[in-house]
Amino acid sequence: MGDINVLSVLMRWLHISGAVVAVGGSVFALIALLPAMRGLSDEIRSDLHEAIRKRFAMLFMISVTALLVSGFYNYLLNEIPQHKGDGLYHGLMGAKILLAFVVFFLGSALVGRAAAFEGIRRRRKRWMTVNILLALIIIALAALLRAMPNTT
Ligand code: HEM
């Protein structure tokens, strides 16, 4: 037990929890919630949608903050020192971070109310599907990165 870095364990927990909540919530909304709402009247559907949107927007933003804080903590303090000179590791990590920013942008546009992103919300199903697929690629990259050996 003596060698365990408690802060790193907590940050790993935060990272995985953020991913589970943001990605799990989006999969639930796409596969269960949206189709189930189709049978409702326009008025009930729009009231329900607004009530859910407000709550999920808050949860999504908390998850994004958790992913950013824990992700950069882990990368800068743990992974950079352990993968010095490993271009492939850092290239794949760069791709993971870039894709994460796309996921954060699309997710924020979908749960937000900015007029500029109304076009994205009008094609909600398409962009939610794209975002979930991107998140699955990010998780695959994370699994690959974890399997790469340390250089130091
Ligand atoms: C949609 C956003 C994201 C998702 C779904 C996600 C998911 C994951 C998952 C599932 C892991 C594996 C955890 C483990 O085995 O301990 C992981 C690892 C990691 N993530 Fe993320 N992540 C996201 C965004 C970010 C961001 C923005 C950063 C910023 C630097 C980041 C940095 C890292 C690092 C450094 C690791 C450890 C890699 C290794 O084991 O070598 N992630 N991520």
Token output for 56: 């999920």
The closest residue, in CA terms, to atom 4 on ligand 1 is: 19
Res 2 pLDDT > 90: no
Q: What average pLDDT does this structure show over 68-91? A: 98
pLDDT band at 28 (very low <50, low <70, confident <90, very high): very high
Average pLDDT over residues 60-73: 98
Give me the pLDDT at residue 79, please.
97
Q: Is the pTM above the cut of 0.85?
A: yes
pLDDT at 117: 98
* Position 110 pLDDT exceeds 80: yes
* 18 within ligand 1 shell (Cβ under 6 A): no
User: So what's the pLDDT on residue 42?
Assistant: 95
Residue nearest to atom 11 of ligand 1 (CA): 142
Query: pLDDT value at position 1?
Result: 59
C-alpha span between 12 and 134 (Å, rounded): 21
Q: Tell me the C-alpha to C-alpha distance, in Å, between residue 126 and each of 30, 107, 136.
A: 10, 12, 16
Q: What is the mean pLDDT of residues 103-113?
A: 98
Q: Determine the pLDDT at residue 152.
A: 86
| Location of structure tokens 């996921």 | 103
How far apart, in whole angstroms, are the C-alpha atoms of residue 129 and residue 132?
Answer: 5
Q: Which residue out of 10, 11, 12, 15 has the highest number of ligand 1 atoms within 8 Å of its CB and is therefore the one to mutate?
A: 15
